[in-house]
Amino acid sequence: MLTVLVASSKGGCGKSTIVTQLASRWAQKGRRTAIVDGDRQGSSFRWATRRPDSVPGVLGLEGGRRGLHKLPSDTERVLIDTPAGAYERDLEPYLEQASVLLVPVLPSTFDLDATLDFLGHLQGINRIKRGKLPVALVANRLKPWTHASQDALAELAELAPYPVVAQLRDSQAYVLLTALGKGIFDYASEQVRSHQQDWMPLLRWIKRQH
């Protein structure tokens, strides 16, 4: 079973977007996929319950550690959504089960500062320090033509102790599809496929780690 833990010290950075989009990808690939939503807002859980019958289902579970205990034995892919501001105590229920840890970051000074502090904290977690839990950054809501996005990527490349494995462009498509319980991988139009390509480096990185 592949378990992807998504965490950040910063709210509004796109944790639930990463969780739901990866879930839609694996569900479309025929993998038995579940979301464990440890965030009190419950965004990922509600997304899973909204998925229509026209697309493959994703099991949504609430309650953090309790949710992990409810996973069916045949589950192949698990995505864990964590609360904003999570540190080791909040992540502890998931650290041993996780196969990889993804940290989303937005291209703003506030987000970069908070993320770099968070990454420094992660380096002290025993399983990460021993190299047993791979960590990667996902640059989110980028506008590649702007200096802000370009400068953010350059700063992460210079200062972050972990690699940036994906660069996701800003798009209203994610907002619209989330309201429908869908993801970009539930569609095959040419316009959507261009956004799907943004996720391929991340999917390849996860596959290599697993």
- Closest residue by Cα to residue 23 from 194, 193, 203, 201: 203
pLDDT at 56: 95
Average pLDDT over residues 152-176: 89
With 0.85 as the threshold, say if the pTM is over it: yes
Identify the weakest region by mean pLDDT among 37-41, 103-107, 165-169. 37-41
Q: Which of 47-51, 55-59, 142-146 has the lowest mean pLDDT?
A: 142-146
The domain made up of 2-209 has a fold known as Rossmann fold (3.40.50)
Per domain, the residue ranges of the chain are 2-209
Q: What average pLDDT does the structure give for the chain?
A: 88
Phi, psi dihedral angles at 203 (to 5 degrees): -65, -40
Please give the pLDDT value at position 39: 82
CA angle 118, 152, 141 (to 5 degrees): 85
pLDDT for residue 182: 92
Angle of CA points 141, 164, 189, to nearest 5°:
50
- The mean pLDDT value for 161-183 works out to 90
Q: Would you say 60 and 34 are in contact if contact means Cβ atoms under 8 Å apart?
A: yes
